[in-house]
Amino acid sequence: MEHPITISHYTPLPDGEHSPSLTTTNTAEQSSRRRSLTFVLLFSSILAACLVMGTMVLFPNSGNEAVEKSTVVPEETVEVAPRGVAEGVSMKSFRRPALNAEPPANFPWNSNVLSWQRSSFHFQPNQNWMNDPNGPLFYKGWYHLFYQYNPDGAIWGNKIVWGHAVSSDLIHWKHLPVAMVTDHWYDVNGVWTGSATILPDGQIVMLYTGSTNESVQVQNLAYPADPSDPLLIEWVKYPGNPVLVPPPGIDFKDFRDPTTAWRTPEGKWRLIIGSKLNKTGISLVYDTVDFKNFTLLDGVLHAVHGTGMWECVDFYPVSKFGENGLDTSFDGVGVKHVMKASLDDDRNDYYAIGTYDPVSGKWVPDNPELDVGIGLRYDYGIYYASKTFYDSNKKRRVLWSWIKETDSEISDVRKGWASVQGIPRTILFDPKTGSNLLQWPVEEVNKLRLNKTVFENVEINTGAVLPLEIGSGSQLDITAEFEVDKESLERVQETNEVYDCKNNGGSSGRGALGPFGLLILADKDLSEQTPVYFYIAKGSGGNLRTFFCADHSRSSKAVDVDKEIYGSVVPVLRGEKLTMRILVDHSIVESFSQGGRTCITSRVYPTKAIYNNAKVFLFNNATEARIIASLNIWQMNTAQRQTHFADLVI
């Protein structure tokens, strides 16, 4: 039986200073903080040793040994331990479903195919491993993105640092030196995820999770060494770190990822940190006036039973009526608040819309059936560890997210890199449904559009597959509208059909009103194809339920890549056409339906449908519906990625 969620009051760590300024403290104060961790570290060292021993028993071959073997013989079947779990974070390696209880053999990739997989307009470092976006902000004319980075290779490691890049438009990026490294006892095992808060006087406060020398998760404070530097090259870590340690009742590896702080009615700053109690995901709430001394509020901001560890939590307001984003501290009439958590158990990002009480420090979902972790997701594909920030430059809320690889580590090592960031998305409340968010690529991505091909009122009969002559299909921006003729909708009998994208045969599973849509990254013979499509189910009373799906089951001849079918229901209101937008950028595809009500991010690794052999087709696999489609398809330019920061013009 699970225990009730109760957390005793937490006394702030002694500091001796309570000024809101970001001045430093002396060595004696730091020693006092370190002594306060003794009871945690003694216990953690014993548990960490047990975890390491258990990992050695379960996985006798280390990840490095596996990579070394497979680099020599790519076809050899090798299974590695899940990276990150023993260290206290979500699994960082993609584990393919076993075939006949054995992992599939690795495909013999060649350098030409692997080179094609690198993105052209999504953000990624020049080489090596990347995961969570950290501390995004707009400062003195520059957008800043920090990110989890392994400078030593293309796999996740236990010395993760903060990579850093800047942009004037969120599309063209300039790589800067690493911002923070593992150089103190409180973050020697990893400078992990964190968030930025910009104070009213312009100061930047950066709180991040560090993994200590005993693998305890603690929260640390950092700030720019030179606030006048718009590039924020140098960072200083507060000598009194850590400023927060796991409170009583919280496991030392279940306390991470502080959010951006927001103002309370009393003038304090408030933030949340992800955790769990037994199998209940929770968000701990802290108040502070100086970001050095914190008070843990009684209870939690929110908790959902059965959702497991909440990491990379996020909390922000949205306007019910306005078209602009809101500053994180904004509250008032016509405002809802979004609670988001990345679930360690299934590695998906869930959100819910609800009402926040700033006095009690509690948040309640509008619809308990769509609560965090059991309801809506930002994205129904490969999309995790997301983080938003308020862009004061354009008055919008912008969403970043880590898009992991779903091929083998062996391939990643050969490529020399792993992971990309999703195209930044704006977030708005959907006033038409009143129950979900709208996510859409930032407008700046449109600047990459080149020549456009238009297809108007293309008729697609049942069972038809129509090629679209557009040249190469490797870098595209596609917008499409689909209409089902009214006679088909009226003629089709009502059924009690229970449909979901994954378990109904994907794009091959034929129904009266679907599937229909686009085949992207397809070769001319359709031996490789990735369908992105709609499926309409007609229920009792003539009610129509529409699904938006992406089928990867035939996306590649390779056997060592993800071939799942992703998707979910998408709200379609009376009188609306079915719409989708697809950004194709080599091995990453982002699909948006109905203005961003439902989104799917795909990683696709074709062996034949690459370069000029990547084609696009319309298809209609419905048995009784005639479809009319209209499309605009743009070839996309390549974004600039400057690597020599000394050449930047400020």
Residue spans of beta strands (DSSP E) within 140-172: 142-150, 161-167
Give percent helix, percent strand, percent coil of the chain, each to the nearest 5: 10, 40, 50
Per-position DSSP letters for 523-564, written without gaps between them: -TTSSS-EEEEEEEEE-GGG-EEEEEEEE-TTS-S-SSS---
Between CA 83 and CA 330 the distance in angstroms is 39
Q: Where are the alpha helices (DSSP H) in 448-559?
A: 486-491
**What are the Cα distances from residue 234, in Å, to 27, 248, 292?**
22, 35, 20
Of 144, 216, 202, which Cα lies nearest the Cα of 648? 144
| Residue 132 designated active-site | yes
Whether residue 531 is preceded by a cis peptide bond, meaning omega within 30 degrees of 0, is no
Q: Smallest Cα–Cα separation from 274: which of 324, 315, 231?
A: 315
Phi-psi region of 90 (alpha: psi -120 to 50; beta: other; left: phi over 0): beta
Cβ neighbours around 334 below 10 Å, total = 11
Q: How far is CA 57 from the centre of its chain?
A: 32
Give the largest Cα separation in the chain, rounded.
80
The dihedral sign for the CA sequence 59, 61, 64, 68:
negative
Q: Which two tokens stand for residue 461?
A: 């009969």
Take residue 230 and report the two structure tokens written for it.
């718009």
Task: Out of 132, 254, 562, 585, pick the active-site residue.
Answer: 132
My answer on whether omega of the bond before 515 falls inside 30° of 0, hence cis, is yes
Phi and psi at 347, nearest 5°, equal 55, 50
Q: Is the dihedral of CA 58, 61, 67, 71 positive or negative?
A: negative
Catalytically annotated residues: 132
